[in-house]
Amino acid sequence: MRPASLLALFAVTTGGLIAGLAVAQSSARKAPVPHEDLPAPSGADTSPVISSGGSGTVPTALRSGDAIIPRPSVDSPLDKSRGEPVLGTKDFGADRQTSVKPDDNTGTDATLHYISVFNPDVLPFKRMSALDAVGDDYTLKIGRPALTEVPVGGVTDPKTRDWFYGNMMIELAPGTDVPLPSVAPDMRILSYDVKPKIALKFEKDGADNFYVRTEESSASGQYRLIIYVDADQGYFAPSLPTTRKYTPAMIAALTPPEIRPMLPDHIRSAGRTTLDKIGIDANMNLHDAFNLLVKYFRGFEAKKLPPTTGDIYRDLCDSQAGVCRHRAFSFMITCNTLGIPARYVQNEAHAFIEVWFPERHWQRIDLGGAALRMDVSNAEDKRIHTPRAEDPFAKPPEYTQQYTQLEGDIRGLSAKQIADRKKPNATPSGSLGGNSGKGNGPAGPDRITPDPTLPTVTQDPKKVTPRLDVTTADTSAFRGDVVHVEGRVVAQGKAIPDHPVDVFLAPAGRHGASPIPLGRAVSDATGRFSQEFTVPGSLNLATYEIYLASPEDAYFNAALSD
């Protein structure tokens, strides 16, 4: 039998050390049997933290729902075979549109092409171009193009934020701003890695379009950029403010001056005609008014426009004709006429809307689209992001059977990716790395525990059972300090990469009873992990065994270290 690692806990007083922590060998015991579902301790720290490389580094892995997402490799070369673009060039999927003029081509789109850069992927809602102003001829543009710096770093909260990796190739030249895609207007860049190494500066304009640049005079050429970002989870799960009963007129009065809608008089007049047609006025209950608005524009159909009146907005609204870009353009004009801030957002495959409300701030509103097929590139190994709540707004049939809901002919995604996206997800995402000596908190209901007093886990004979080993661990630690643990995951003699591993302490000599979860690690490409975990300050001074456990997944049984 392989020995278990033991550790004995120190406390520190003004007189110094009280008790010691040591690694030793335990007596031989029977092969381990995994047990189920250790409840998360009350008040446990579930905040994601940055990886053990130190403050400012990209974490080793993220958890999105029940999936473990490993950090992208900064060493990866450009992969044109997967459709990867180079930002800062004229590649497809790399350009930012600074103006958009509505067209009258309202028939069904043939095939849309979408390029994935985030993991989890917000498909098909990557933000590449956001436009928040309207010209006299209905041209949409960026109202405040001046850039402000986006600081790197920040404290993040799993209750209110979702986490993502961004992985992209960029073409840099000194002092040149390169458009950067984003997942949300309030996206924060918590850390980044770039190769070759270079200092970067991140910025955004008044419509929350993001940019990256370098000031280094020697910088020139292509760079692999990995960003670790978070965003308000409410942006992806839109809803109306709930603390009081609002009307559109109240929303208009509460809108900050910098985002207050500004429309030419003749366009505002055209917008009022549409509001009258739908039956909306500024003093209605916001819930009723907004649902009518969403229902009307989600009810657009891909069809030919009738003879033009010379006003493209009126033609689209009166006929309810068009695909995603026509719906989003028309909705933006109408919503802004009502006094509610709305802006048009698009990428290479889709256009949608962002709407601002008090309390909620910017919300992503999808109005659907119409295409015969969507081809997705660069998404083979990615999770599809699942909002924490369903969109509560009206969903007419013209909306529900669209590619934006991953219905229809979707190429480039597996059936499992689509099924996972459609599963409810109330579980916060988070980082699985450790930084500044801290480990990740409880990993959720899929945790396996060494406690022999709990029900045993049924093993599937068709799956392989991994072997988990502690290879190195600290020989001493203090309560409230950290313990460094290294381990490996193998199956049938081969390393298992990207595999979740939970680390526990259990009082020595009790065969795993009363385990204390330290956190979750994830194995790297060699099947190994190396991570620091916080030792709870409430633990008794004693000697503890270190246990590793991993949950069952589609390929492997649950497992427990000896």
Range in 300-309, 421-430, 480-489 the model is least confident about: 421-430
Q: Which residue in 77, 223, 124, 231 sits closest to 212, CA to CA? A: 223
User: CA 518 to CA 514: how far, in whole Å?
Assistant: 13
Q: Which two tokens stand for residue 265?
A: 């008089």
What's the length of the chain? 562
Mean pLDDT of the chain: 85
Q: What is the pLDDT of residue 32?
A: 62
pLDDT digits 0-9 by tens, 492-536: 999 988 788 989 988 888 888 888 888 888 888 889 998 888 888
What's the rounded Cα separation, in Å, for the pair 449 and 517? Answer: 9
Q: What is the mean pLDDT of residues 27-39?
A: 46
Angle in degrees, 0-180, between the axes of helices 312-319 and 324-337, rounded to the nearest 10: 100
* 177 pLDDT higher than 50: yes
Please report how the helices 324-337 and 286-298 are oriented relative to each other, as an axis angle in degrees rounded to 10.
Answer: 150
Band the pLDDT of 9: cuts 50, 70, 90.
low
Q: Give mean pLDDT, residues 438-456.
A: 60
**What confidence category does residue 362 fall into, taking pLDDT thresholds of 50, 70 and 90?**
very high
Euclidean distance between CA atoms 411 and 92, whole angstroms: 18
- Predicted confidence band at 102 (pLDDT cuts at 50, 70, 90)? very high
Block residue for tokens 């099947």: 527
Query: Exposed/middle/buried for 77, CB within 10 Å: 0-12, 13-18, 19+?
Result: exposed
Contacts for 87-92: CB closer than 8 Å, 24+ residues apart:
87/168, 87/169, 87/170, 87/171, 87/178, 87/179, 87/180, 87/181, 88/170, 88/171, 88/172, 88/173, 88/176, 88/178, 88/179, 89/171, 92/348
Beta pairing class for 342-346 and 351-357: antiparallel
311-358 pLDDT, tens per residue? 999 999 999 999 999 999 999 999 999 999 999 999 999 999 999 999
Closest by CA to 556, choosing from 491, 469, 501, is 491
Residue 434 pLDDT more than 80?
no
> What integer pLDDT is reported at residue 429 of this predicted model?
52
pLDDT score, position 449? 83
What confidence category does residue 28 fall into, taking pLDDT thresholds of 50, 70 and 90? very low
Residue 437: pLDDT over 80? no
Say how far apart CA 346 and CA 341 lie, in whole Å: 17
Tell me the average pLDDT across 117-144.
Answer: 97
Residue 455: how many other CB atoms lie within 10 Å: 9
pLDDT given at position 237 = 94
Residue 540 to residue 544: CA distance in whole angstroms: 10
Report how far apart the first and last C-alpha atoms of the chain are (Å, whole number).
Answer: 7
Residue range(s) occupied by CATH 3.10.620 in the chain: 109-114+134-140+242-422
Percent of the chain with pLDDT over 90: 56
**Confidence at residue 16, expressed as pLDDT on a 0 to 100 scale:** 27
Question: What pLDDT is stored for residue 277 in this prediction?
Answer: 97
Please state, in angstroms and rounded to a whole number, the distance separating the CA atoms of residues 190 and 271: 41
| Residue 53 or 396, more confident | 396
Give 3-state DSSP helix, strand, coil % of the chain, rounded to 5: 15, 30, 55
Neighbours of 317 (CB within 10 A): 26
At 53, is the pLDDT very low, low, confident or very high (cuts 50, 70, 90)? very low
Fold classification of 109-114+134-140+242-422 is: C8orf32 fold (3.10.620)
Exposure string (b/e) for 339-372, b if CB count within 10 Å is 16 or more? bbbbbbbbbbbbbbbbbbbbebbbbbbbbbbbbe
Burial readout 298-312 (b: 16 or more C-beta within 10 A, e: otherwise):
bbbebeebeeeeeeb
pLDDT tens figures, 237-266 = 999 998 899 999 999 999 999 999 999 999
* Spatial CB neighbours of 250, under 8 Å, sequence gap ≥ 6: 286
Coil/strand/helix, residue 291: helix
Find tokens 């998404």 and name the residue: 379
Task: From residue 484, give the alpha-carbon distance in Å to each of 49, 57, 476, 526.
Answer: 16, 18, 10, 19
Evaluate if residue 469 carries a pLDDT over 60. yes
- pLDDT range class, residue 29, cuts 50, 70, 90: very low
Question: Phi and psi for 242 in degrees, rounded to 5?
Answer: -125, -5
Q: What is the pLDDT of residue 407?
A: 82
Residue 21: pLDDT band (50, 70, 90) is very low
Q: Which pair of tokens denotes residue 21?
A: 């922590």
Residue 451 has pLDDT above 90, yes or no: no
**How far from 556 is each of 11, 339, 500, 509, 549, CA to CA, in Å?**
39, 55, 11, 29, 12
Instruction: Tell me, rounded to whole angstroms, the distance of Cα 91 from its chain centroid.
Output: 25
- Is residue 432's pLDDT more than 80? no
pLDDT band for position 406 (cuts 50, 70, 90): confident
Separation CA 68–CA 501 (nearest Å): 10
Nearest Cα neighbor of 428 from 157, 166, 229, 182 is 157
- The residue-averaged pLDDT of 192-196 equals 96
pLDDT at 41 over 50: no
Fill in the DSSP letter of residue 537.
T
Who contacts 312 (Cβ-Cβ below 8 Å, separation ≥6)? Answer: 102, 103, 104, 138
The pLDDT value recorded for residue 197 is 95
Residue 43 reports pLDDT greater than 50: no
Q: Which helix (H) or strand (E) holds 42?
A: none
Find where tokens 């300050």 sit: 537
pTM: 0.74
